[in-house]
Structure 1
């Protein structure tokens, strides 16, 4: 049964998710990492971290804990960049953080110059 609650976002595919992210964040994501908390096909929360802050102490653990507190059971990570930076190096630390906060890593995605691809 479809929901009539405008605060709920349902996704069935990566394309649905990428379409919903700018609406959830209120801005098109650029040069950032987006965490999307999910429970089955319902989005529970989203967090945006600018790529320049990813390595700052405490930023990523706080973001993952925030997603977990939204009653998410899983997390989808989407990295947005137009650069040729080695984003694949993020995969292992992101997986480790998801395990640490008891979230299933549902997907690690990369959107480089508007093109969707796996992160690792």
Structure 2
């Protein structure tokens, strides 16, 4: 996978996990995580509770080890690398956050329509 695609993937994970964690209303800490991918050091700032940090680190590890040049969606991958329990947890977070992010996007579009008038 190209470095640009890898960065998009980690930023997507960051966005989804932070939306999920924010709604749990627990103590979150800002942590800078450094990932090494194809001899490039990538820093990402996360604002998560310890439990969500553990889960996103697992997802980052799986992403770093992805053997595919063109990364498929995890749910359609012919060689899944997530353990079943972690897959269910990640899927739960993605569904929850996806709904929230979709509603936020829709809300912004509606507001923009009314601003024009």
Report 1 or 2 for greater relative contact order, CA contacts < 8 Å, sequence distance ≥ 6: 2
- Does TM, normalized by the shorter one, top 0.5? no
Return the TM-score normalized by structure 2. Answer: 0.23
More strand by share: 1
Return the TM-score normalized by structure 1. Answer: 0.23
Bigger Cα Rg: 2
